């Protein structure tokens, strides 16, 4: 089923609604997953950049403690938010400003698509699917798991009269994914969080779960949360 219209939620992370809707295909009802309106990101604070670079690392030992709505808001804005509202420019670069990367956010309540322009989380599928975002043990424990998806249809029209061939589409999309992932790593270092980037993902399974189009390609994933206590 494609991304349905869901009930609008409150301005915070909210639990699954008890109401259920019937699918057009006659499938059993599924819980309605509310939209999440994120708090306005806080653009001050955190460790200085050079300290964050010095402390940037992968930490697979992540606690299951949930991030607050404000921390989640700050994380997503740092990753791929709009930092120049007048032009729609983002916190990570994009060749020819294609902006083809979709940031899917897997929480215990369900999987969402980050809407950068409105700074909201659009519901995609209910249920806890975090364990599907990587093949290594412990992937499902992090409270937030990000999945990077490239929409290659955004290349088809080209920019400034220039077409982008398939080889460049792939290379650029992985580069864009890397830029965003590094933003996540630096934010995590700045805020004392743990982060774990994963190239080993079951892309077909995630694509099926999210009901992606053929031109939408699952690239990588990244878990984020508080470091687990020793």
What pLDDT band is residue 214 in, cutting at 50, 70 and 90?
A: very high
Give domain 47-225's CATH superfamily: NADH Oxidase (3.40.109.10)
- pLDDT of residue 30 exceeding 80, the answer is no
> Could you state, in order of their start, the residue ranges of all structural domains in the chain?
47-225
* 91-114 residue pLDDT tens: 999 999 999 999 999 999 999 999
Half-sphere CA count of 144, side-chain side, radius 13 A: 29
Q: How far is CA 58 from the centre of its chain?
A: 18
The percent of residues in the chain predicted with pLDDT above 90, rounded, is 81
Q: What is the mean pLDDT of the chain?
A: 88
Half-sphere CA count of 54, side-chain side, radius 13 A: 5
What pLDDT band is residue 164 in, cutting at 50, 70 and 90?
A: confident
Question: Which has the higher per-residue pLDDT, 220 or 31?
Answer: 220
């Amino acid at each position: 089923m494609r991304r349905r219209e869901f009930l609008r939620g409150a301005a915070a992370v909210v639990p699954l609604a008890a109401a259920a809707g019937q699918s057009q295909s006659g499938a059993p009802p599924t819980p309605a997953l509310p939209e999440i309106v994120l708090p306005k990101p806080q653009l001050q604070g955190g460790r200085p950049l050079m300290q964050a670079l010095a402390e940037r690392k992968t930490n697979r030992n992540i606690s299951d403690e949930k991030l607050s709505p404000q921390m989640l808001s700050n994380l997503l804005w740092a990753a791929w938010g709009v930092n120049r509202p007048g032009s729609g420019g983002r916190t990570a670069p994009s060749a020819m400003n294609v902006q083809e990367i979709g940031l899917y956010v897997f929480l215990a309540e369900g999987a969402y698509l980050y809407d950068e322009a409105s700074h909201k989380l659009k519901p995609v599928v209910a249920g806890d699917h975090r364990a599907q975002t990587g093949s290594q043990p412990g992937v499902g424990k992090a409270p937030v798991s990000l999945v990077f998806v490239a929409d290659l249809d955004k290349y088809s029209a080209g920019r400034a009269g220039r077409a982008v061939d398939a080889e460049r589409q792939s290379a650029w999309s992985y580069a864009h994914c890397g830029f965003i992932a590094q933003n996540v790593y630096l934010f995590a270092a700045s805020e004392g969080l743990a982060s774990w980037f994963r190239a080993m993902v079951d892309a077909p399974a995630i694509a099926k779960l999210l009901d992606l189009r053929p031109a939408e390609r699952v690239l990588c994933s990244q878990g984020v949360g508080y470091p687990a206590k020793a």
